[in-house]
Structure 1
Amino acid sequence: MLEYLFEQYNNYPTHEIILEITAVIFGLFSVWFAKKDNIWVFPTGLINTSIFVFLLWKWSLLGDMMINAYYFIMSIYGWYHWTRKKDNVVEFPISTMTMHEKKLSVFIFLATIVFVIAVYIFFDKFTHWTSYIDTLATAIFFVGMWLMARRKIENWIFWIIGDIISIPMYFVKGYSFTSIQYLIFTIIAIFGYLEWKKTLNSYNQR
């Protein structure tokens, strides 16, 4: 079983394997901190995404590469957004999406799909069915990251859907460590949603 999962790494450079494992570890830390509504979600996420931008370019997964570049930028924005306080009280606690944010989410989703398709066509990278799945996952994750930076509970729904899509995509492409990472992400995201829901309910009861 282990040989089947990891045999594709026989031909990979050692430094890429080490980088992938390092990125996975920091990615897991980041999602765990997100689940706990902890500000460390952003610094650990910055390390994870910067490594994956490099690796995904080499793996020709341009959509996911752009996801991670976008994550990097949104992590800086989220870090600032989460730490804003007014009269020593957090200005933006966990909340649900407004109608305006729902409309913006649809716009981000559609705009991302158009943009990623244009990038794939420009670089002539529509060479495998995973490229089309990658395009869909990219749009889902773009919305999820934007909502997480704004501390909206619905971000977890987008993470769960995107993670489930990514598990087989990375496995088929031969990146087992990353595929396993997304499996673990899915589990943490489910618990993250439940934990944020509990916190949101406690806010509403005050």
Structure 2
Amino acid sequence: MNKGEIRIQKNTKTDINEGIRAKEVRVIDEEGKQVGIMSLFAAIKLAKEKSLDLVEMSKDAAPPVCRIMDYGKFRYEQNKKLQEAKKKQVVIHIKEVKFRPNTDEHDYRFKLKNIINFLKEGNKVKLAVTFKGRELVHTDLGIRVILRVIEDIKEFGIPEFPIKPDVKRTFSTVIVPVKAKKAQ
């Protein structure tokens, strides 16, 4: 950390027992029934009598909502939910396949086979045709290459958006797998 630099740390921890700063809290017991509004001291005493913790659930409410529960069990269940959410996340990669306006037939077939494999794996594929030098005069050849690829792979994937010029010398589109497009 450099001199004069202020580091702000987000407080993601939940306040429990004496860590709660409010004077009065709305208390919910371990069964989920509302006990009512009481002083923080009385709420902590009530939780300690039951050998549980007073956990602040909503700081923004007036007065803050606190629940009587086992804090260790609460944290364990939260972590378990996070792990479950991470498992359900689906990561979609975009694979890029580059062509030239004068790509030879063998190279075209090889790249087409790779595109089909990427689409079968569920990945999106970015088709790009790059132009060098004076090839830029014949952009129609590049667009024809992309249209030919789209026609050859129509049973595996469809374009997400129309062919568009990217940077200075590139035309591209993104192909999505057929099953992914139907789900949207």
Q: TM-score by structure 1 length? A: 0.22
- When normalised by structure 2's length, the TM-score is 0.24
Bigger Cα Rg: 2
**Structure holding more helix per residue:** 1
Highest RCO, 1 vs 2 (Cα 8 Å, sep ≥ 6): 1
